[in-house]
Amino acid sequence: MELKIERAYQALVSRSNDPTATPRSIIADFSPDSQEPTEEAHLQSGQPHQSLDFTAARRRTRLDWDNVHVHWTLARWRTVLFSVESGFQLYHADCRVCVWRRVGERYAEAIVLRRVAHGGGSVMWAGICHGECTHLHFINANLNAQCYRDEILRAIVVPFVELHHVTFQQDHARPHIARICRNFLE
């Protein structure tokens, strides 16, 4: 039975990667009339998982960073201020919603989905370290490098680092690694 399930899975994956395949043709291949046990395999359709494709140079850089920090003690890690940035959307503007309708019912009130442009959400930033944190900062515009430097680094991070004598650690988001931010932090 496991062999049949594995064959069904492999067939489904190969059909999913076929650029000429349509959802209907894939479903037809695995209909109850077909011999493949898709129901027993608990297969369902969905979006593929996305992950970063690191180059060899990027992997090397990450490994070098890991090797430098692998022997840090807990006391040393407690003196690091980590940057935390989160976006919250009121409406999922980037998700697809499926509705069933008859021809000519596209604008029927019952199936019109009201939304706010770009999800109607907010972005918030904070810095956290052991026993301390910065205040929560609401970002009112797009977070570009200049906004990040002026509203976050200059106004929040530098005073916090000077007061608490901590090391600032951030991710490699584009605004964070822009030239004006790197120059400001040097």
For residues 70 and 146, the answer to whether their CB atoms sit within 8 Å is no
Q: Which residues contact 59 (CB under 8 A, 6 or more apart)?
A: none
What's the pTM?
Answer: 0.58
With respect to residue 58, please indicate whether it lies within any of the assigned structural domains.
Answer: no
- Is 53 within the bounds of a domain? no
Domain count, the chain: 2
Q: How sure is the predictor about 143, in pLDDT bands with cuts at 50, 70 and 90?
A: confident
Kindly state whether residues 125 and 179 are assigned to the same domain. Answer: yes
Of residues 11 and 139, which shows the higher confidence score?
139
CB count, 10 Å around CB of 2? 8
Q: Is residue 85 part of a domain?
A: yes
Q: Is residue 7 situated within a structural domain?
A: yes
Looking at the structure, tell me whether residues 27 and 68 fall in a common domain: no
Domain for residue 49, yes or no? no
pLDDT digits (tens, 9 = 90+) for 164-186: 999 999 888 888 889 999 999 88
Question: Which of the four pLDDT bands, split at 50, 70 and 90, describes residue 24?
Answer: low
Task: Give percent of the chain with pLDDT exceeding 70.
Answer: 66
Domain contains 15 = yes
Question: DSSP class of residue 172?
Answer: -
Tokens of 118: 């770009």
For residue 31, what are the domain limits? 2-41
Closest residue by Cα to residue 81 from 128, 151, 125, 126 = 128
